[in-house]
Chains A and B, each alone.
Chain A
Amino acid sequence: MRYLLQRVAILLITGWAALTINFLIPRLMPGNPVETMIAKFQGRISTTAIHALELQFGLHSHQGWWLQYLDYWRNILTGHLGVSVTYYPQSVGSVLAQSVPWTVGLVGLSTVIAFLAGTLIGIRSAWRRGRLGADLSVPVALFLNSTPYFWFALILLYAFAFLLSWFPLSGGAASSGSPQGLAYLGSLAYHGTLPLLTLVITSLGGWLLTMRNNMLSTVSEDYVAFAQARGLPEGQVMYRYAARNAILPSFTAFAMAIGFVISGTLLTEIVFSYPGVGFILYQAVTSLDYPLMQAIFLFISLAVLAANFIADLVYILVDPRAREGR
């Protein structure tokens, strides 16, 4: 319990910090975002919208920062994130709501698959260290780890969508048909395979290396030797005694990893024109839609915090020392 409370406290602080950074960036950056937007959307933004934007970004405002900050919080807590300029007159909230499920699905699925696959290969690579096949996994993982997501996405797109036409060039699902039923699921898979594959393959290397290193440290622990001395089957020693302990630090590494995966997802979505948050962010960036950008950053920060919280819960499940207090 103490562990959990501690984690919750850290998450709350982090959440507060992320939201405050979100508040500060437009105010600290040089230049005037609203003017930039007006210039870009000449005549397409109404005066009331301009006024709203000026308020949101604290320009020409006679309010002190403190009052602006309170307003900012009130807007967030009541869900008023402003109006998107790109998708005018939709509110930022509703634009976000349409794209979030795609990204959450992609990130969630790819993280789980990459974590499991990378961890499994890492375990075996450490256990069979010294053999060519196992040691070769290291440079391969290092290569995957430093492969730009979007570049790998482009390669897959070119090979499997453009040249071979096995998969579509863009989109998240067939535009016709109701979002239900087996056919729709099929279309989801049809569109989602390449983005998923990109994310799984490029993020797998990191998990592999983390697990391999942890595993190599754990393998020389006494309890592993003691398990071997008791004549336990090799698989049991490898998984239940060594890997079960070696995996614990991976949950701690989760905080950083999930940030990378989300970053990768944003870029991957752009390449595949996948209708998730990354794609929207791209639209927002190219059209200087600052309210939308701010909202997306807000969402991503909260999503990362949620993912971290889930990782913490899982950690409590798998480590009795965190569970039974200490």
Chain B
Amino acid sequence: MKAALRSRWAQAGLVILAIFVLVAALAPVIAPYSPTNSSFSPLASPSLRHLLGTTQLGQDIFSQLVWGTRGTLEIGFLTGLFATALGVLVGIGGGYLGGPTDSVLNALTNVFLVIPGLPLIIITAAYITTKSQLPIILIISFTGWAWGARVLRSQTLSLRQREFILAARLVGESPLRIVVSEVLPNMLSLIAANFIGAAIYGILSAAGLQFIGLGNVNAVTWGTMLFWAQSQGALLSGAWLWILAPGAAIALVGTALGMLNFGIDELTNPRLRAGVKKLPKPVPAGTPEVGALLSLQEIEAGYQTAAGPLTAVRGVSLAVKPGEFLGIAGESGCGKSTLAFAALGLLRPPGAVYRGSSYLAGVDLLALTPAQRRPYLWRDASFVFQASMNALNPVIRVRDHVLDTARAHGLPPAEAIERATALLQQFEIPAHFLDAYSFQLSGGMKQRVVLALSLLLRPKLILMDEPTTALDVVVQRLIMQQIEWILGELGVSIVFITHDFSLLVEISDRIAIMYAGTVVEQGPAAEIYAHPLHPYTQGLIRSFPPMSGERQVLHGIPGHPPGLGEKLSGCPFFARCSARLEGVCDQAVPALLAQGDQHTVACHLYGQPPPVAAPTAVGEAR
């Protein structure tokens, strides 16, 4: 709840609402006259005595507006309360109890969701002859609870599966106790949103009802003000403030409540949170490495969060030569995916590249606008996502994905389909799956469709982010074979990201090891495997069994990498390193220095720290 109030929207809404509540509470003090005092001259124009003029009957409009605040907010509050109570009862009750109770309650909810509220209220209210506010409020609540019940029910259903609820049930706590002490507290924000929505609904419905003369028109509310204004021809006699003021007040209160709800929405759905400021283009760095197809220079990238900017990639420089297979390995969260997205300028807010250049065949992709970058994407470098499960648009066919891609890059449709058919065949997917939707493909098939798509425009480079994770071993092996085919037959460069070091050893030309957003070691695959220099690489190799061979005891590396918000003052591996040099490793960030012909490592064990501790990455030795 407190977090919801941090939202700009919620704050603005709360301020407006507070003003209205204050006016309602202090009505006797604020209003200069009694709202029913009709001793003034009728239809007076606004003046200091009558800020908004007077009515046909000679009442002070401003006083009515002030007192009407009280009556209207009361209706909103009570409707919110009753409708929410009903919604909670039906939604949470049904959702938690399940079975036939739930079926009946759910059917009831669906019925009330569809039955039009206001007409039902109108005809019901027309039968009521008592002149009290309460029946109207009850009727409105009775028509307004269904939406809340639906939302609460589905939330309860998902909550019911959570561990702490299951645990409570196992212990044998009574359902009522579990609902009150475990379920309800977890749904407070939803219930609050519900209350607010029902309050808006109540205020608007009551106003409509009172406007056509139903309910107690002698009560002082904004709705009855509008009724009297209309029935006494306020507009025709030019007393437009009599109409304007109460309606505007209703809309304003509704807006304030809506803003509050918007804040709560943002809280429950992080994707709705306010967008972050657009950063300027990253500061370019370095020059493209000679002979490299892709040359990353000092890429620094991360995420802008409410708690401040995080740095997930801390100045990475890497190069990929034509036809080369570069493997990137590192533990989960070390910034591999962020680096891949950053390299192609595809990092989306809240992600951002802070600094660096990504030269693809000499062109710095990060210095381009999105529109300028588009022609290079996929034609020169394609990208197979870590989660290809959701990479296909669920509402269009595989064929449309092919055609869209082709059209964007000027490949004739006929040729695109021909190529796609051949590629799918290569990946052992029958051609008729061109007409399938993604929900008709298995996980492994989706992955292979995406791989086939990545080759459609015959790019020079493919970035593959863990293309085999989450697949079973057979499919995994199949895909690896196909990737080797791509490499052998097509001569494409591949950057292959994985946390499975053993997978890389057999297939890579070169391997880069990432740790905490930095490249700590890189070199030819065989050499890295045979002579790992960095203590982290050594640990990594120990913790994975070779792809073929006996399973061994795995040696995990205890400890955690530094937080993304921290600025490095020494080696990022310092805290976990078994070979650390106190007073050296924690004092300066090690630079990536050549060790031998093509092998580089960032570790103080293999060279003295430069006199000025700066995290400059040095181009690799060749």
**Taking beta carbons and an 8 Å cutoff, which residues of A are in contact with B?**
10-11, 13-14, 17-18, 21, 25-26, 29-31, 33, 36, 129-130, 135, 138-139, 142-143, 145-152, 154-155, 157-158, 162, 213, 216-217, 219-223, 225-234, 236, 240-241, 244-245, 248, 255-256, 258-260, 262-263, 266-267, 270-271, 281-282, 285-286, 288, 290, 293-294, 296-297, 300-301, 304-305, 308, 318-321, 324, 326
Contacts and interface: CB of A to CB of B under 8 A. Distances in A.
Contacts of B253: 146
A138 B9 contact: yes
A262 to B, nearest CB: 5
Contacts of A304: 114-116
A225 B338 CA distance: 13
Contacts of B385: 222, 225-226, 229
B394 A245 contact: yes
Contacts of A259: 114-118
Nearest to A11: B114
B283 interface: no
B56 to A, nearest CB: 16
Contact of A229 (B107, B272, B377, B440): B377
Contacts of B203: 146
Contacts of B252: 143
A304 B113 CA distance: 11
Contact of A255 (B12, B113, B374, B391): B113
A188 B436 CA distance: 48
A321 B437 contact: yes
Contacts of B116: 258-259, 262-263, 300-301, 304
A297 B374 contact: no
Contact of A18 (B111, B147, B394): B111
B52 to A, nearest CB: 16
Nearest to A128: B275
Given A130-B274, A148-B208, A229-B346, 7 more contacts: A148-B250, A151-B250, A231-B374, A255-B114, A263-B208, A267-B118, A308-B114
A148 B394 contact: no
B269 A217 contact: yes
B104 to A, nearest CB: 11
B452 interface: no
B130 to A, nearest CB: 8
A14 B106 CA distance: 12
A158 B235 CA distance: 6
Given A10-B110, A231-B409, A145 B254 contact: yes
A96 to B, nearest CB: 13
Interface string B264-303: 0100010110111110000000000000000000000000
27 contacts: A14-B110, A14-B111, A18-B111, A26-B127, A129-B275, A130-B277, A130-B278, A143-B251, A146-B255, A146-B257, A147-B247, A148-B207, A149-B208, A150-B208, A150-B226, A157-B235, A222-B391, A223-B394, A226-B392, A226-B450, A229-B385, A230-B404, A236-B404, A262-B119, A263-B117, A285-B213, A296-B119
Q: Closest 5 A-B residue pairs measured CB to CB? A: A146-B254, A130-B275, A263-B118, A151-B247, A231-B377
A142 B262 contact: yes
B370 interface: yes
A270 to B, nearest CB: 6
Nearest to A221: B390
Contacts of A157: 235
A146 B255 CA distance: 6
Main secondary structure of the interface of B (DSSP, over half): helix
A234 B251 contact: no
A281 B124 CA distance: 13
A221 B246 CA distance: 43
Interface string B96-126: 0000000000010011011111111011101
Contacts of A266: 118-119, 122
Contacts of B262: 138, 142
B132 interface: no
A158 B584 CA distance: 81
A162 to B, nearest CB: 6
Q: Which of B122, B244, B370, B377 has the most CB of A within 10 A?
A: B122
Main secondary structure of the interface of A (DSSP, over half): helix
- Interface extent on B, as a size class? 35 or more
Q: Which of B111, B204, B277, B393 has the most CB of A within 10 A?
A: B393
Nearest to B270: A220
A36 B12 CA distance: 49
Contacts of A228: 346, 348, 377
B395 A245 contact: yes
A231 B251 contact: no
A231 B390 contact: no
Given A146-B253, A262-B119, A293-B123, A267 B212 contact: yes
B255 A139 contact: yes
Q: Which of B120, B147, B207, B409 has the most CB of A within 10 A?
A: B120
A288 B126 contact: yes
Q: Which of B110, B116, B377, B409 has the most CB of A within 10 A?
A: B116
B396 interface: yes
Given A225-B348, A226-B392, A232 B405 contact: yes
A33 B125 CA distance: 12
A146 B204 CA distance: 7
A83 B383 CA distance: 71
A49 B73 CA distance: 44
A13 B116 CA distance: 15
Contacts of A146: 200, 203-204, 250-251, 253-255, 257-258
Contact of A320 (B107, B344, B374, B437): B437
B211 A150 contact: yes
A17 B115 contact: yes
B127 A229 contact: no
A155 B247 contact: yes
B312 to A, nearest CB: 16
Nearest to B391: A226
Contacts of A320: 394-395, 437, 439
B15 interface: no
A13 B111 contact: yes
B329 to A, nearest CB: 22
A29 B408 contact: no
Nearest to B277: A130
A236 B405 CA distance: 11
A143 B257 CA distance: 10
A143 B254 CA distance: 7
B127 A145 contact: no
Q: Which of B119, B247, B370, B379 has the most CB of A within 10 A?
A: B119
Contacts of A282: 212
Contact of B243 (A151, A226, A285): A151
Nearest to B272: A216
B94 to A, nearest CB: 16
Contacts of B518: none
B214 interface: yes
Given A14-B114, A234-B370, A229 B378 contact: yes
A231 B408 contact: yes
Given A217-B271, A222-B387, A326-B439, A18 B207 contact: no
Contact of A148 (B114, B204, B453): B204
B326 to A, nearest CB: 19
B371 interface: yes
A255 B117 CA distance: 11
B346 A25 contact: no
Given A151-B250, A286-B213, A281 B259 contact: no
Nearest to B248: A151
Interface string B456-497: 000000000000000000000000000000000000000000
A142 B214 contact: no
Contact of B235 (A162, A236, A256): A162
Contacts of A294: 123
Nearest to A320: B437
Interface in B356-382: 370-371, 373-379, 382
Contact of B255 (A142, A151, A221): A142
